[in-house]
């Protein structure tokens, strides 16, 4: 009897252990695949971003190592399958649609994909995902349709040095992901969400990917910043020069995470301090090119400064007339690689003006060189982004979309 009771207890224990092992195994399996799986939005669709990589080209060269599939992007109808796209294949517009070498497709928008998932090479640059070729008034546009995480792998190495401390790379991944999602959710444009240049974020496709930046994207997978339940445009810039800018002074973004913070860690930047010498004749030409009716620039004076030290406006004298120009407009007009920020001083010399200033870029959001400096002080990526976007929270994209 005692023996049977013992056997029964042992059997029960084994059953409990087996159940625990199955539950633990299931948890590990769930957690692994939950974190490794690609993001799926509502309805199970992958989170796709649309990046315009070519604008108004007369001809596009598109190739792939595997046979391609061509669809009508407007209707989804299959136009061709198993099409070999050699490196010499040229795509051009014609009256009734778009031509691929000598094959004519009677559609204004083609969607080219490789069923095996191999990259498409467009004018020498490899891209993941699909490529939309759109006929425009000026020629052809190419729009890369790519999953969010794959897009970020092609953004990070173009926006930061891939050899930077890993926490700075992870911070950039969270910020770039947040910015991209905010732009996609706006759905401002019919054919694309962002361009591949500094107007949004620089994107170099698969060709530009580096393993450390790719790892930073993977380690922060689906992590985004939110404020009050909303994913906001997490702007960033190269170097703030001591204090980041209040976004409401530049654009219509008056939320606390974009109000501006002190930053004492970007002195590593080669542009923390900058100087520029601009001849008066060059300035006059630039003003004229921008539509200003002036013949001379007799004096330039700084206007009011905001809390970050940036000029809200500059006052300019031409003859006996004074006029005002916004600081950001002045930088754009003379050239953002010459007047790198609006936190500047001005000195007048007989034939030129001497500008000296701090920082590079609009100054809103994360200071990339500041993130670099903080990562060197062992700050984590999460702590860095929370410093530059105060009041924001890091959340999983799946929780807020
Ligand atoms: Zn800074």
Cα 152 to middle of ligand 1, angstroms: 23
Comparing C-alpha atoms, which of 357, 295, 297 is closest to residue 331?
357
* Chain segment 33-92, per-residue pLDDT in tens: 344 455 666 556 789 999 999 999 999 999 998 889 999 998 989 998 888 887 767 899
pLDDT at 96: 85
Ranking 5-9, 129-133, 198-202, 373-377 by mean pLDDT, the lowest is 5-9
Q: Find the 342 Cα to ligand 1 centroid distance in Å.
A: 14
Q: What band does 293 get if pLDDT is binned at 50, 70 and 90?
A: confident
What are the residues facing 354 on neighbouring strands? 277, 347
Q: Is the pLDDT of residue 19 over 60?
A: no
How many A from CA of 74 to the centre of ligand 1? 45
Q: Report the separation in Å between the CA atom of 358 and the middle of ligand 1, taken as the mean of its atom positions.
A: 10
Helices within 55-165 (DSSP H only): 148-159
At 51, list the tokens: 């990046």
369 pLDDT higher than 90: yes
CA 263 / ligand 1 centre spacing (Å): 5
Percent of the chain with pLDDT over 70: 89
Q: Measured in angstroms, how far is the CA atom of residue 242 from the centroid of ligand 1?
A: 5
Distance CA 135, CA 133 (A): 7
C-alpha 388 to ligand 1 mean position (Å): 9
Band of residue 27 on the pLDDT scale cut at 50, 70, 90: very low
Q: Please give the pLDDT value at position 219.
A: 97
Cβ–Cβ < 8 Å for 341, 266: no
Per-residue pLDDT tens for 114-169? 988 889 999 999 999 999 999 998 899 999 999 999 999 999 999 999 999 999 99
Kindly give the distance from the C-alpha atom of residue 217 to the centroid of ligand 1, in angstroms, as a whole number.
Answer: 23
Tokens 């391609």 sit at which residue?
68
119 CA to centre of ligand 1 in angstroms:
37
Distance from the CA of 367 to the center of ligand 1, in angstroms? 5
* Two structure tokens written together for 167: 């926490």
Residue with tokens 């559609």: 107
Q: Read off the pLDDT band of 3 (50, 70, 90).
A: low
The mean pLDDT of 342-369, rounded to a whole number, is 93
By CB neighbour count within 10 A (0-12 exposed, 13-18 middle, 19+ buried), where does 396 fall? middle
Instruction: Tell me how far the alpha carbon of residue 187 lies from the centroid of ligand 1, in angstroms.
Output: 31
Query: pLDDT, tens digit, for every residue of 328-343?
Result: 899 999 998 999 999 9
Q: What b/e readout covers 211-221, taking b as 16+ CB neighbours within 10 angstroms?
A: eebbbbbeebb
Q: Locate tokens 């732009």: which residue?
A: 183
CB 336 within 8 A of CB 362: no
Two tokens, residue 4: 């049977």
Distance (Å, whole) CA 52 – CA 141: 7
Task: Tell me the CA distances in angstroms from 356 to 303, 330, 331, 340, 348, one per residue in order.
Answer: 16, 14, 13, 9, 12
> Can you give the pLDDT at residue 36?
44
pTM assigned to the model: 0.84
What does the alpha-carbon distance between residue 389 and residue 401 come to, in Å, rounded to a whole number?
20
Alpha helices in 37-147 (DSSP H): none
Report the separation in Å between the CA atom of 160 and the middle of ligand 1, taken as the mean of its atom positions. 15
**What's the rounded mean pLDDT across residues 370-390?**
97
Q: Is 137 left (phi over 0), alpha (psi -120 to 50) or beta?
A: alpha
Strands (E), 8-86: 48-57, 60-64, 68-72, 78-83
Give the residue from 180, 181, 179, 173 showing the smallest Cα distance to 214: 173
Q: Round to whole Å and give the CA distance between 134 and 111.
A: 9
Of the given ranges (178-182, 185-189, 237-241), which has the lowest mean pLDDT? 185-189
Q: What's the confidence (pLDDT) of residue 202?
A: 96
Query: How many whole angstroms from 213 Cα to the centroid of ligand 1?
Result: 21
């Amino acid at each position: 009897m005692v023996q049977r009771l013992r056997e029964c207890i042992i059997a029960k224990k084994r059953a409990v252990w087996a159940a625990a092992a199955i539950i633990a195994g299931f948890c590990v399996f769930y957690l692994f695949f939950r974190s490794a799986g690609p993001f799926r939005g509502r309805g199970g669709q992958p989170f796709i971003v649309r990046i315009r990589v070519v604008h108004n080209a007369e001809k596009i060269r598109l190739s792939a190592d595997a046979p391609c599939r061509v669809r009508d992007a407007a209707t989804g109808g299959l136009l061709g399958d198993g099409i070999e796209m050699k490196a010499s294949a040229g795509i051009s517009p014609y009256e009734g649609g778009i031509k691929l070498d000598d094959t004519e497709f009677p559609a204004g928008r083609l969607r080219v994909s490789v069923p095996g998932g191999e990259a498409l090479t467009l004018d020498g640059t490899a891209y993941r995902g699909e490529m939309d070729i759109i006929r425009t008034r000026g020629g052809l546009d190419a729009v890369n349709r790519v999953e969010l995480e794959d897009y970020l792998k092609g953004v990070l190495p173009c926006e930061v040095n891939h050899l930077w401390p890993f926490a700075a790379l992870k911070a950039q991944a969270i910020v770039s992901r947040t910015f991209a999602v905010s732009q996609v959710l706006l759905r401002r444009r019919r054919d694309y969400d962002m361009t591949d240049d500094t107007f949004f974020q620089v994107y170099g496709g698969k060709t530009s990917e580096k393993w450390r930046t790719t790892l930073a994207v993977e380690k922060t997978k689906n992590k985004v910043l939110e404020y009050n339940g909303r994913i906001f445009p997490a702007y960033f810039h190269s170097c703030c020069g001591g204090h980041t800018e209040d976004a409401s002074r530049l654009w219509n973004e008056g939320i606390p995470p974009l109000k501006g913070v002190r930053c004492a860690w970007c002195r590593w930047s080669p542009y923390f301090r900058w100087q520029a010498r601009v001849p008066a004749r060059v300035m006059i030409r630039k003003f004229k090119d921008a539509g200003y009716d002036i013949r001379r620039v007799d004096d330039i004076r700084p206007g009011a400064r905001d809390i970050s030290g940036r000029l809200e406006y500059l006052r300019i004298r031409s003859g006996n007339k004074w006029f005002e120009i916004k600081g950001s407009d002045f930088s754009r007009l003379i050239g953002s690689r010459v007047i790198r920020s609006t936190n500047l001083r001005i000195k007048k010399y007989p034939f030129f003006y001497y500008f000296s200033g701090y920082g590079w870029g609009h100054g809103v959001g994360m200071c990339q060189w500041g993130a670099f400096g903080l990562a060197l002080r062992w700050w984590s990526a999460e702590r860095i982004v929370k410093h530059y976007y105060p009041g924001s929270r890091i959340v999983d994209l799946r929780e807020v979309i």
